[in-house]
Amino acid sequence: MAYNRQVEAFREEEYPMMKGKTYLDHAGTTIYAKSLIDKFSKEMVENLFGNPHSASAPAQLSGHVVDSVREKALRFLGADPTHFDLVFTSNATAAIKLVAESFRDLALESSTSGSFWYGYHKDAHTSLVGPREHTNGQHHCFTSDQEVEDWLLGYRSLPGRREDDETPGILAFPGQSNMTGRRLPLSWSKKLRGSTRISHQNTYSLLDAAGLATTTQLDFSDPDASPDFTVLSFYKIFGFPDLGALIVRRNSAHILTWRKYFGGGTVSSLTVIHEASYHRKDATIHDGLEDGTLPFHSIIALGCAIDVHLSLYGSMINISKHTMFLTRRLFEGLSNIRHSNGLPVCEIYHDATNVRPYTDATTQGATIAFNILRSDGSYVSYSTVEQLANRKDIYVRAGGLCNPGGIASYLKVAPWHFKRAWSAGHRCSESDNTEIINGKPTGVVRASLGAMSILSDVDTFLAFMLETFVEDIGQTVIITEQPRKKLPMVRNQGGVGPVVVKVPGSWPTREPFLINTGLKQKSREQPLRRYEMYEDCICTILLLGFSIYTLNMYFSQTSAPRFRYLISSSDLWGAYVCMCNWILSYACRLFGGK
């Protein structure tokens, strides 16, 4: 892990839209750089681009740029164009749909059951679950990594999938959970391809790399170990343009030729009168799959995005180290925020088998999912957290996150909980009063970091958590080098004010940073300083002198002879003034005239 201070140097100039805001939803989309927009605008102003399907000079220019950007994108992703092709889509979901429809049409033509088999991991995004509806019930959800491993090694058979079944199939899994950021093993594609079991021979791998590709370098260096099909969204990497891709392993591309639908630009010949016939383009893989006119302006912008991204960050490896450092800092901070009764404020969802979470980029991405607990252990509505953060210009994501398997497993939500929530009116992506059913939340809060995230983003969010959700906070440590290990801290003096938290020298920021808790602190435990004791003595003497003077004035007015003129008022006043002068003179000598 290594924090990249250069990001702080150029962030204000390159990302002016982020000034005064804390953006923590990079898993949804990251932020585009100003240089990207400037470069793209310059390209559009200085060149005349036409529809690539035409033969004019502007059209040929567009076609040339599209081809060059396609190759540039493959190489940026670590894929050799010799072994892989890239099909442009609107997003990762569209790429998944393209693969699913191809298998559906293949099964209708060649399978005795008229369907294909589909296996998907529980951490799959909703879009990766969707293809199961094309299978006529021939699908299976793997509930753990170990279940996938056992199936690949032949230790486990699956319901509805015989060992001698030659029906075409797909093993689909995300490279990174879009809910928790947990990264799954990428070795499954190679194990599946190397298996000698009959049911594995006609099963292909589909990797959803939409989350994984945002902060790590994909690796297609070994075509035999790579997935058959990989999907991703470029706006999650660069912020702009809104474009997706399907990376196809050339040796597996024949599956996609079974797709029946064709659009403009994907056929070489077509008849509609007297007979219905067509010939699909087959010079390249993408020629027969990119329906209609390509979004060539967006593809031009993609070329600009790759150039700017490399000039700012150098490589995805640098981004991975940078975001892993920040994610670790955020995890430690959230883990150590506690109520005054010692109970944690955050319930963080991560792989329980990982003894050192958020330290290894191969097992964890720059995403943290959690819920807020009150001091009595009850949950705060996740939409409430999102709304309160939004008022502070802090932007997180809250809800089910289109990850039903993750919600069910990490929050231990049974099917009947989902049915009860549905009956109560709960709907995905809608804020209502059914976010907590039977004491359990139906969603989470997600904070995710990106290439342009900096230390102040993390610290601002931690300060917000302290100010908003800690009940009767006493001494709270939010930054630690090791989980649960307290660090030296200078607290404010019994009221609302800044708390100074000192971080270890191993952290990049060596100066203390202020966190305004906005909450009442416990009384200090440090001994009184010397000047504080003198201050108390001075106040006591002044009060005593004034009391004697007042009593004397009272008794001087009484009719009792023994009390009258106990001390003359003029003498007492003179003594009182002399005493004050002596005290002030001594104080000046003590503090050097200050």
**pLDDT tier at 116, thresholds 50, 70, 90:** very high
| Domain endpoint, select from 432, 452, 469 | 469
Across 233-242, 258-267, 456-465, least confident range: 258-267
Query: Which pLDDT score is estimated for 520?
Result: 37
Residues 84 and 47 in one domain: yes
Please report the sign of the dihedral spanned by the C-alpha atoms of residue 134, residue 213, residue 329, residue 326.
negative
**Neighbour tally for 158: CB within 10 Å:** 17
The backbone torsions φ and ψ at residue 416, rounded to the nearest 5 degrees and listed phi first, read -70, -25
73-111 residues labelled b (16+ CB within 10 A) or e (exposed): bbebbebeeebbbbbbbebbbbbbbbbbbbbbbbbeeeb
What is the band of 1 on the pLDDT scale with cuts at 50, 70, 90? confident
pLDDT of residue 586: 53
DSSP codes joined into one string, 301-323: HHHHHHHHHHHHHS-HHHHHHHH
Is 343 contained in some domain? yes
pLDDT at 164 over 90: no
Residue 265, domain member (yes or no): yes
Give the Å distances, CA to CA, from 572 to 409, 546, 549, 555, 580.
82, 10, 7, 13, 12
- pLDDT of 497 above 70: no
Does residue 580 belong to any structural domain of this protein? no
Task: Give pLDDT, residue 366.
Answer: 98
What's phi and psi for 335, nearest 5 deg? -65, -25
Q: How confident is the model over 227-248, as a mean pLDDT?
A: 98
Closest-CA residue to 503 (of 551, 540, 458, 465): 458
What pLDDT score was predicted for residue 502?
Answer: 38
Task: Report angle CA 355, 357, 363 to the nearest 5 degrees.
Answer: 105
Are 249 and 197 in a shared domain? yes
Question: Residue 526 has what pLDDT?
Answer: 38
Same domain for 326 and 277, yes or no, is no
Nearest CA-CA partner of 15 in 250, 309, 246: 309
Is 136 found in the same domain as 60? yes
- The burial class, CB within 10 Å (0-12 / 13-18 / 19+), for 422 is middle
- State the DSSP H helix or E strand holding residue 173, giving kind and residue range, or none if neither: strand 169-174
**Within this chain, do residues 305 and 321 fall inside the same structural domain, yes or no?**
no
pLDDT reported for residue 560 = 45
Assigned domain for 478 exists: no
Asked if 350 and 182 count as a contact pair (C-beta separation under 8 A), the reply is yes
Q: Are residues 278 and 421 in the same domain?
A: no
Clarify whether residues 96 and 224 are in a common domain: yes
pLDDT of residue 557: 54
Does any domain span residue 529? no
Please give the C-alpha separations between residue 277 and each of 248, 260, 506, in angstroms, as whole numbers.
Answer: 27, 12, 69
Averaged over 203-223, what is the pLDDT? 98
**561 assigned to some structural domain:** no
For this structure, is 346 an active site residue?
no
Does residue 112 carry a pLDDT above 80? Answer: no
Tens-place pLDDT, residues 30-87: 999 999 999 999 999 999 999 999 999 999 999 999 999 999 999 999 999 999 999 9
Among the candidates 276, 293, 309, a domain finishes at 309
What's the pLDDT score for residue 592? Answer: 47
> Residue 537 has what pLDDT?
55
Give the residue among 150, 508, 73 at the shortest CA–CA distance from 310.
Answer: 73
In a domain, 524, yes or no: no
The Cα diameter of the chain in Å comes to: 137
- The pLDDT value recorded for residue 355 is 81
Tell me the two tokens of residue 498: 């800044």
CA distance 86 to 78: 12
What is the total count of domains within the chain? 2
Q: What is the pLDDT of the chain when averaged over all its residues? A: 84
Positive/negative CA dihedral, 18, 20, 26, 29:
negative
**Nearest-CA neighbor of 95 among 213, 225, 239?**
213
| Band of pLDDT at residue 287, cut at 50, 70 and 90 | very high
Judgement on whether residues 271 and 411 belong to the same structural domain of the protein? no
Same domain, 272 and 295: yes
- 12-21 contact pairs (CB < 8 A, 24+): 14/312, 14/452, 15/452, 18/452, 20/393, 21/393, 21/394, 21/395
- Indicate which residue of 141, 304, 346, 402 is catalytic: 402
Residues 99 and 160 in one domain: yes
Give the H or E element holding residue 373: strand 367-373
Provide the token pair at 571: 């003498």
CA–CA gap between residue 560 and residue 551 (Å, rounded): 14
Q: Give the pLDDT band (50/70/90) at residue 437.
A: confident
- Check which CATH number belongs to the domain holding 182 and give it: 3.40.640.10
- For the cut 80, the answer to whether the pLDDT of residue 421 exceeds it is no
Among 269-283, 426-440, 501-515, top mean pLDDT goes to 269-283
CATH of the domain at 343: 3.90.1150.10
Predicted confidence at residue 201, as pLDDT, reads 92
Worst-scoring range by mean pLDDT, 191-205, 365-379, 522-536?
Answer: 522-536
Domain's final residue, options 451, 469, 487: 469
Q: What type of residue is 318?
A: N
Q: What's the confidence (pLDDT) of residue 232?
A: 98
pLDDT at 165: 86
Asked whether residue 555 is assigned to any structural domain, the reply reads no
pLDDT at 522: 36
Domain containing 251 equals 34-309
Question: Both 261 and 187 in a single domain?
Answer: yes
Structure tokens at 83: 């072994």
Q: What is the pLDDT of residues 322-353, one digit of tens each?
A: 999 999 999 999 999 999 999 999 999 998 88
Residues 274 and 347 in one domain: no
Angular region, 233: left φ>0, alpha ψ -120 to 50, beta rest: beta
- The answer on pLDDT for 154 being more than 50 is yes
Residue 420's pLDDT band (boundaries 50, 70, 90)? Answer: confident
pLDDT of residue 80: 98
pLDDT mean over 473-489: 39
